[in-house]
Amino acid sequence: MGDAPKATLPGVRILSHAFGSKDVGEPLTRVGFLFVAYILTHVAVSDAYSFPIFTNLPLLVMNLGAYAFAFALIVLALVSRAELRPKAYLVLVAAAYAVLLNFLPVIVFQPFYRIDSLSYTHYSAMLILQGRNPYAESMLPSLSAFHVPADAWSPLESGGLFGTSPYPPLSFLVYVPILVAGMTDVRVVYLAFHLAGLAVLYLRAPPAFRGVAPIGLVMTLELVQYTPWGVPDILWVVPALLMATDLGRPARAGLWYGIACAFKQTPWLLAPFLFLWYWHRHRTDVRRTILAFGGVAAGVFLLVNGPFLAWNPSAWAAAMFAPLISLQAPTGLGLSTLAAYGYIVAPRDLFVVSEVGLLAVLVVMYHVHFERFEFTFWIFPALVLFVSYRMLQSYVVYWAPFLMIGLWMWWRTHATSNP
């Protein structure tokens, strides 16, 4: 057996046949079972090390249940002569379990907000209900109001704190209904969006990919932990996922994209690549297609932002372009760490130029080599943000579900062109 050509080995023949056919649902579902099982155990042990869950019987039972669920999924993944593809929904259930498994201990043991962006957006929603413009107010009172730890504040390079609202309006308008209903902790909104994102990935994936699709939103421990922390990206991710899975319907995709852009600036970086995608994919009706997508997206964005633009144009503009013009101290990872820790001397403007320059290079490359890079543009915003003055892990990990979509977009094209 050791001297046999690799192509004749039984396992290689099975995998070759499975992945060489259009229907890869069975092997992918088994991979999904294994992957999500270990995500469950990873979250379970992280909870045990981070919180005193042994003092809370329901949380302890839930933690032990995660291990039981994981072991069952592992056994199922390796069972012979069984069709697991119809049971792909178990991956969705396990992914949702992992999100809840991490969310509940944080809410129980940390009844404060861990990051300033969450306190800023909550406070902004409170100001709206008082008839005050959040973009014209200081957000610093929210730090003490929501007991945000000092190590989570955002310092300025010159000293002091960054204390204005830096996000588009939907980032805080989304809380208004639950505040009116009397709720006091807006983190439940993040949980609802995370679970909704898992459902979008599962329901909109091609049947063959449903066993792995939900993994896109639990692929790393950060993706699970950021939800109860209140990292705002999950809010734009969900409408952007709907956009990504609706690209074949330009007007509907534009609706979702406009909503995503009204939550945060990050998805703005997708705009040139989305227009180029439509340009190359809809040559026969490119003008109508781009107008449908861009017109609806711009209309939705202006509908949400218009009142705040009219209320105080300069304050609104300062918030929209805060990622570029705010003088916050560098933080996170990325190339700026070389300057932050004194290895090189480089002005902030150099990083801004690097962002703009890299974006331009990627746009040209995508246009010229579209056939080669068609499905890669989902990661381009992370590349651009990696060379910015502030590069947080959230700028990278939240593209994971879109990479999953890019993978099945490639598969659909490959399966169609290579029967």
- Reduced 3-state DSSP string for the chain: CCCCCHHHCHHHHHHHHHHHCCCCHHHHHHHHHHHHHHHHHHHHHHHHHHCCHHHCHHHHHHHHHHHHHHHHHHHHHCCCCCCCHHHCHHHHHHHHHHHHHHHHHHHHHCCCCCCHHHHHHHHHHHHHHCCCCHHHCCCCHHHHHCCCCHHHCCEECCCCECCCCCCCCHHHHCCHHHHHCCCCCCHHHHHHHHHHHHHHHHHHCCHHHCCCHHHHHCCCHHHHHHHHHCCCHHHHHHHHHHHHCCCCCHHHHHHHHHHHHCCCCHHHHHHHHHHHHHHHHCHHHHHHHHHHHHHHHHHHHHHHHHHHHHHCHHHHHHHHCHHHHCCECCCEECCHHHHHCCCCCCCHHHHHHHHHHHHHHHHHHHHHCHHHHCCCHHHHHHHHHHCCCCECCHHHHCCHHHHHHHHHHHHHHHHHHCC
At residue 11 the predicted structure's pLDDT band, cuts being 50, 70 and 90, is very low
Q: Residue 22: its pLDDT value, please?
A: 53
**Chain centre to alpha carbon of residue 379:** 11
CB atoms within 10 A of CB 371: 7
Q: Give the span between the Cα atoms of 97 and 32, in whole angstroms.
A: 15
Residues belonging to the chain: 419
The answer to whether 260 and 236 are in contact (CB under 8 A) is: yes
Q: Residue 350: its pLDDT value, please?
A: 87
What residues does 391 pair with on adjacent strands? 332, 333
Q: Which of 22-31, 37-46, 134-143, 361-370 has the lowest mean pLDDT?
A: 22-31
pLDDT of 125 over the 50 cut: yes
- The pair of structure tokens assigned to 152 is 């989570």
What residues does 333 pair with on adjacent strands? 391
Q: What is the pLDDT of residues 290-343, one digit of tens each?
A: 999 999 999 999 999 999 999 999 999 999 998 888 778 777 788 888 887 888
- Distances in Å between the Cα of 213 and the Cα atoms of 67, 90, 194, 206, 221 are 22, 12, 14, 9, 17
Residues 6+ apart with CB under 8 A from 86: none
Q: Which value, in Å, is the radius of gyration of the alpha carbons in the chain? A: 23
User: Alpha-carbon dihedral of residues 8, 11, 12, 17, nearest 10 degrees?
Assistant: 100
Mean pLDDT of 105-133: 96
- Burial (CB < 10 A; 0-12, 13-18, 19+), residue 349, is exposed
At residue 77 the predicted structure's pLDDT band, cuts being 50, 70 and 90, is very high
Q: Residue 336: its pLDDT value, please?
A: 83
Q: What is the pLDDT of residues 250-292, one digit of tens each?
A: 999 999 999 999 999 999 999 999 999 999 999 889 999 999 9
Mean pLDDT of 110-139: 96
Extents of the domains making up the chain? 9-109, 110-417
Q: What is the pLDDT of residues 213-235, one digit of tens each?
A: 999 999 999 999 999 999 999 99
The answer to whether 165 and 320 are in contact (CB under 8 A) is: no
User: Alpha-carbon dihedral of residues 107, 110, 114, 120, nearest 10 degrees?
Assistant: 60
Mean pLDDT of the chain: 91
| Percent of the chain topping pLDDT 90 | 79
Q: Residue 23: its pLDDT value, please?
A: 67
pTM confidence score: 0.91
- The pair of structure tokens assigned to 377 is 């543009």
Residues 6+ apart with CB under 8 A from 76: 33, 82, 84, 87, 90
